[in-house]
Amino acid sequence: MEKREHLYEGKAKVMFATDDPNLYIQYFKDDATAFNGVKKGTITEKGVVNNLVASKLMTILEAVGIPVHLVRRLNDREQLVRKVQIIPVEVVIRNVAAGSMSRRLGIPEGQPLSRPVIEYYYKADSLDDPLIVRDHALVFGWATEAELAWIESTCLRINDVLIGFFANIGIRLVDYKLEFGRLAEDPGKVVLADEISPDTCRLWDWTTGEKLDKDRFRRDLGGVVEAYREVARRMGLAIES
């Protein structure tokens, strides 16, 4: 596989073309942002840890039949992924009230939800990724009814798998964000894309409640990379450095 031109540099990753028009290389940076880029920093080795964690979680999901963009992890910072057209709707799945849900609705952080809640956000940096309702995605053509129905049922399956996986290593999966895309080679097929990592999840130690995710950066709690490494360690992943 030959790496070609740099296509897009996002806040946490860089996408490169390859000599195969249907494959991209996803490079994980150490850059961290919060509040839509207002807060910026660098978390040493974050890219290496997130690449490992995201590769492992995508592989686990693929093994239970969830279609994913990951082809394989290439090296410490890169993955080979299938090229997709990203559906511009970020899907947040919540099992416990926290973050913007707690702020918006006045629900205490840590209050368990009686069932998973799925929220949609319009992926538009210029608008600060606003919370939307399902009808907005449909009426503005961001996703079709069939795609949303598939995404919703798939998110519930993903949630069951990930809750169990994390519970086994003493971690409460509080909430997380997923992105889906239409395969470049077959746009009728939707797959899970982007990443699942401590950048995109809230992960709390099951017994102490300690935060093991990006909230340590967002809220200036310190020990950011140590928390990310702890997640990788519990997942049985060895960091080569």
Judged by CB under 6 A, the chain residues 110 through 139 that form the site for ligand ADP are none
Q: Which does 86 bind (CB under 5 to 8 A by kind): ligand TMP, ligand ADP, ligand ASP, none?
A: ligand ADP
Among 78, 147, 175, 230, binds ligand TMP (CB under 6 A): 175
Q: Which of residues 74-103 bind ligand TMP (CB under 6 A)?
A: 92, 98-101
For the CB of residue 95, give the shortest distance to ligand ASP in the complex, in Å: 18
For helices 46-63 and 145-168, angle between their N-to-C axes, nearest 10 degrees? 110
The answer to whether 73 contacts ligand ASP (rule: CB under 6 A) is no
11 forms part of the interface with ligand ASP (CB under 6 A): yes
Among 172, 189, 190, smallest CA distance to 180 is for 190
Return the range that interacts with ligand ADP (CB under 6 A); candidates 38-46, 76-84, 146-154, 228-236: 76-84
Residue from 34, 86, 117, 237 binding ligand ADP (CB under 6 A)? 86
How many H helices and E strands in the chain? 6, 14
Residue type, position 170, single letter:
G
Contact 214, 199 (CB under 8 A): yes
- Nearest by Cα to 230 from 27, 95, 45, 41: 45
